Amino acid sequence: MSFDLRTVTRVVGGSYLDFGIADHTSCEGLARVGEYVVVASAEFATLVTGSVDDLSARFAQGSEAAAVTARAVFVSDQDTPRLRKTLAAHGMSAVLGASLSGDALHWRLAALLADDRAAADRLVTAGTRVLTQVARRGGATAVMAELAHRIDGWAVLLDAHGQLIASAGAGRLHLDDAKAVALGTPVRVRHPGLQTHQVGSDLDFTGYLVVASRSSATGRIRDLASQAAALFDLVLRTRNPSLTEHLGREALLDILEAGGREAAVLLSRWGVREVELTAFVLGSRTRTVDLERLVERWLDELGIEYLFVADPGRVRGFLPEQLAGELASRVASFAPPGASTLHLGLGTAAAVDALGRSAVQARQAFDAAAEGGAAVQRYAELPTVDFVLDAISGDQRTQLGGILDELRDELGAHGELLETLHVFLAEHGAHRASAAKLGIHRQTLVSRIHRVEELTGLSMSRPDDRAAAWLALRALGR
- Domain ranges within the chain, ordered by starting residue: 5-99, 127-235, 243-382, 394-475
Q: What angle do CA 403, 407, 410 make, to 5 degrees?
A: 130
Q: What angle do CA 266, 270, 271 make, to 5 degrees?
A: 125
| Strand (E) or helix (H) holding 308 | strand 308-311
CA-based end-to-end distance of the chain: 70
How deeply is 337 buried, as exposed, middle or buried, from its count of CB atoms within 10 A (0-12, 13-18, 19+)?
exposed
- Which CATH number is 243-382 given? 3.30.70
Measured between alpha carbons, how far is 5 from 116 in angstroms, rounded to an integer? 13
Measured between alpha carbons, how far is 478 from 476 in angstroms, rounded to an integer? 6
CA distances from 250 to 311, 317, 433 (A): 9, 10, 45
Measured between alpha carbons, how far is 294 from 31 in angstroms, rounded to an integer? 51
Closest CA to 183 of 168, 172, 198, 171: 198
CA distances from 357 to 117, 281, 289, 309 (A): 65, 13, 28, 18
Measured between alpha carbons, how far is 374 from 363 in angstroms, rounded to an integer? 14
Measured between alpha carbons, how far is 354 from 361 in angstroms, rounded to an integer? 13
Reading the chain (478 residues) residue by residue, the pLDDT tens digits are 457 888 888 888 889 998 888 888 888 788 888 888 776 666 778 898 988 888 888 888 877 878 888 888 999 999 998 899 988 988 899 999 998 888 888 888 888 888 777 766 676 677 777 777 777 666 777 788 888 888 888 889 988 888 888 888 887 888 888 888 888 877 666 666 788 888 887 777 788 999 888 876 666 778 888 888 888 887 776 455 566 777 878 888 889 988 888 888 888 888 888 889 999 999 987 766 778 888 888 988 888 888 898 888 889 999 999 999 999 999 988 876 555 678 999 999 999 889 988 998 899 889 888 888 888 998 878 765 555 666 555 666 666 667 777 777 666 667 788 888 888 887 778 888 888 888 888 888 888 888 888 887 888 888 878 877 777 777 766 6
CATH architecture designation of domain 127-235: 2-Layer Sandwich (3.30)
Q: What global pTM score does this model have?
A: 0.43
Closest CA to 455 of 406, 405, 403, 400: 406
Yes or no: domain 394-475 corresponds to CATH 1.10.10.2840: yes
